[in-house]
Amino acid sequence: MNAVIYCSCTGHSKAVAEILAARLEYALVDYTAATEDYSTAVIVFPVHCQSYPTFLKNFFKSRKAKRVALIATYGRADAGNAIFEAAKLVGGAVVAAAYIPVGHCYLSDGYAPTELPQKLIEKISDPAPVKIPKRGKTPFAGFLPSLRSRFLVRIKRSEKCVGCNICGNVCPVGAIEKGKPNAKCVRCLKCVVSCPEGALDFKKARVLTRYLEKANFNETIIYLK
């Protein structure tokens, strides 16, 4: 079986995964439901702090497929070294990889591509492995990312909260209950976008706002050889 497996906190990675699944005619699978060993597994995931989300480490290590394609979506800030680090964990030959620019989860532009390069689609079906180069990161990208995010982004609960705990059920790290985040929160904002009452919101620190105003990377980076 071939599948496009996605991890998506705010919907951007899922949008890319849907395009890939339609173009490749592969099954579309949420990473929490990916239990099979696949012939080809196209894994779409967001870049967090210029790497893969920390909660995906065991998922990557458990993936077994003859061929793997790694597609990292990044919020037009800095893609960092996410694919190189993920590639070291997965089982199977990495036959294609790409960084795809999408909307940043802390911004309201909602940008998502409507199409992907044909050469990427074709390479996923090619069994020849690709070489993933190591890319640079900003100096503090890997320094206590969870702690840093708590200083830079604050989750706010309003009086609209009805205590349904949908936020707690969807949280990938079990970091929130009835709208109240705890110290495990990585500020992925899945709780915010999933709240049916619109009771959760977030506030950015000024330093983060300034950084995102200056960041404007829009390059689609594809590894084919």
The confidence score (pLDDT) of residue 145 equals 61
Q: What is the CATH number of domain 2-137+216-223?
A: 3.40.50.360
All structural domains of the chain with their residue ranges: 2-137+216-223, 145-212
Helix, strand or coil, per DSSP, at residue 109: coil
The confidence score (pLDDT) of residue 144 equals 59
Residue ranges with strand state E in the chain: 2-6, 27-30, 38-46, 64-74, 91-101, 153-157, 176-177, 180-181, 200-204, 221-223
Alpha helices in 25-174 (DSSP H): 57-62, 82-87, 118-124, 145-152, 166-170
CA distances from residue 92 to 52, 56, 70, 156, 221 in whole angstroms, order as listed: 18, 17, 11, 41, 22
pLDDT (tens place) for every residue of the chain, 225 residues total: 999 999 999 999 999 999 999 999 999 999 999 988 899 999 999 999 899 999 999 999 998 899 999 999 998 778 899 999 999 999 889 999 999 999 888 887 667 788 999 999 999 989 999 999 999 887 666 655 666 667 789 999 999 999 999 999 999 999 999 999 998 899 999 999 999 999 999 999 988 888 787 767 788 999 999
Q: Do domains 2-137+216-223 and 145-212 have the same CATH topology?
A: no
The confidence score (pLDDT) of residue 141 equals 62
The confidence score (pLDDT) of residue 56 equals 97
The confidence score (pLDDT) of residue 49 equals 86
Separation between Cα atoms, residue 224 and residue 129, nearest integer Å: 8
What is the value of pTM for the model shown? 0.93
Fold of 145-212: Alpha-Beta Plaits (3.30.70)
Which DSSP state fits 190? H
